Amino acid sequence: MRYEYTVETEDLAKYYTMGPAIVKALDGIDLRVRRGEYLSVMGPSGSGKTTLFNMIGGLDRPTRGKVYIDEVDIAKLDAYELAWLRCRKIGYIFQTFNLIPVLTAIENVMLPMIFAGVPREQRIKKATELLERVGLGDRLYHKPGELSGGQQQRVAIARALANDPAIILADEPTANLDMKTGLEIIGVMRELNQEKGVTVITATHDLKMIDVSDRIVYLRDGKVERIETRREIAIETEEI
C-alpha cells in the first residue's frame, strides 16, 4: 500500500529539564513529508534539528504531539515494534558515520538484514550490490578504520538502504566531510532518492544541500520558521 505522506508530525514537542530551566528543543512542529520527497531541515545548532531527527526516527519519545510513519502513530508501538520500524522502515545516516568498528564494510551493510531475517546468500548479494552502487565495490572487506570519511559515509548510506526503507534520516551527513566529499555524498543521496523513490529527510546546515532539496524547512528555537519549496528558491536566486 502507498500513502501520500510518509512522515507526519502533529504539534510535536520535546522539552528537556536542565536543573531549574526547561529547554524547549522542539515546540509544536507540524510537518508533512510526501513520499519520495527530499526534505532538508536547516537551522543553527541548538534549533532542534537532531531532536526532530530522533523523534521521527523513533529513537526518543516526544513530550507532546504525534509522529506518524506511514500513517501509524509510533507512540502506540511497543519496544519490539519500534525496533522493527527502525530496522525495516527507516535508514539512519549520522554525522559521525557510526559504522560498527569491528565489522567489515559488507558486514556492516548486512547487519540490518540479519535483524530482518534475510537469508545469508541474499544478504551477501544485496550488500555487494549496494556497496557497488555507492562506488565501494573494491572495498567490501575493509574495516571502517581502513576507510576514509567519505567512504565510511558511503558504507553508511548503503547500510541505511539495506532493508529498502521508506525513509532515510540523515543527521548532518556532510558535517564531518570536506567540501568535495560532502558534495559527492549529497549527490549519492539525491540519486538514490530519485532511483528508489525513498523519502530523504536530512538535518543539516550545509548550504550545498539546498540545491538538491525539494523542500527546505527552517527551524529556529524549536519552531518552524519558514518552509521553502524548490520553485521559490529558484525564483529567489533569479531575483538576485
Q: Is 5 in the site for other proteins (CB under 8 A)?
A: no
Q: Is 94 in the site for other proteins (CB under 8 A)?
A: yes
Which helix (H) or strand (E) element contains residue 12? strand 5-18
Q: Is 68 in the site for other proteins (CB under 8 A)?
A: yes
Helical H segments across 31-178, by residue range: 49-56, 79-88, 105-116, 120-133, 149-160
Distance between CA atoms of residues 240 and 236, nearest Å? 6
Q: Tell which one of 1, 21, 207, 240 touches other proteins (CB under 8 A).
A: 1
**Total number of residues binding other proteins (CB under 8 A)?**
44
Compute the least distance from the CB of residue 62 to other proteins, in Å.
11
Compute the least distance from the CB of residue 96 to other proteins, in Å.
7
Q: Is 3 in the site for other proteins (CB under 8 A)?
A: yes
Q: Tell which one of 24, 72, 181, 190 touches other proteins (CB under 8 A).
A: 72
Q: Tell which one of 11, 73, 146, 211 touches other proteins (CB under 8 A).
A: 73
Angle between helices 120-133 and 149-160 (to 10 degrees): 130
Distance between CA atoms of residues 59 and 148, nearest Å? 28
Distance between CA atoms of residues 162 and 110, nearest Å? 7
Distance between CA atoms of residues 61 and 12, nearest Å? 10
Q: Is 18 in the site for other proteins (CB under 8 A)?
A: no
Q: What is the largest CA-CA distance in the chain?
A: 55
76 vs 231, which CB is nearer to other proteins? 76
DSSP labels for 40-80?
Answer: EEE--TTSSHHHHHHHHTTSS--SEEEEEETTEEGGG--HH
Compute the least distance from the CB of residue 227 to other proteins, in Å.
20
Q: Tell which one of 24, 35, 63, 116 touches other proteins (CB under 8 A).
A: 116
Binding site for other proteins (CB under 8 A): 1, 3, 8, 10, 50, 54, 57, 59-60, 68-73, 76-77, 79-81, 83-90, 92, 94, 96, 98-103, 111-112, 114-117, 159
